[in-house]
Structure 1
Amino acid sequence: MRSAYKFRIYPNQKQVAELEDTLEICRNLWDTALADRKAAWEKRGETRSYPSFRTNGLISKHFPS
């Protein structure tokens, strides 16, 4: 039997700001990757996957580390 756990967090203001920044980066990366996949399909009829985003520099653009 599977069980689920719920946790409530109470972040301080600094943590809230960091969480919002992280989620914004993730949302932008997802939207960019989705737009890239859609364009590749519409223009060339090809599918894209995660490894192709890494080789195209899409991830390094959002995560310059």
Structure 2
Amino acid sequence: MGENAILNANLAVQPLGDPIYVDDIGIAVNKGNGEMLDRLNEALATIQENGTYAEISEQYFGRDISQ
């Protein structure tokens, strides 16, 4: 993510306006491995609900990137 690079490189630039595009991020799971898919989705839902996702996002990106 370019925004992360800007923040970590201490560049004298700032984001202006909305991004041109947003990358969707996914986790690959072997086809047919429904149990793993269910467990991943459950874990993601849990950290989103309990605020851990936003906390991690704030730590690394300075904002909640899930919004």
TM tier, shorter chain?
0.3 to 0.5
Greater helix proportion: 1
Higher Rg: 1
TM-score (norm 2): 0.33
